[in-house]
Amino acid sequence: MQRVCFLLKVKPELAAEYQARHEAVWPEMLAALSASGWRNYSLFLQPDGLLVGYLETDDFDAALAAMAATEVNARWQAEMARYFEGLDGGAADAGMVALAEVFHLE
């Protein structure tokens, strides 16, 4: 199992709206994430827009590819692109900066 932590940057002026959008994630998006191997997936947002994501999966590259192949992910990414800085209009899932794990308490 891989533990993955990643960073993205939400535009600070859209942080509250971004958070509100995640209070009602589409059921088909949730199902696609689960079916693609995303487990224990969480997002954390600072007021300045720093977004920290965490998930567990058997194979992160395979989980990303499985989501990229879904129609619902394409729709979700298109709607969410405007919230992010530094992606030049690209999809957030393609702009994730994964962090190196340096410690894990078992």
Instruction: Point out the residues that are catalytic.
Output: 22
Q: Dihedral through CA 36, CA 45, CA 80, CA 63, nearest 10?
A: -10
Measured CA to CA, the distance from residue 79 to residue 42 in angstroms comes to 19
* Three-class SS of 32-96: HHHHCCCEEEEEEECCCCEEEEEEEECCHHHHHHHHHCCHHHHHHHHHHHHHECCCCCCCHHHCC
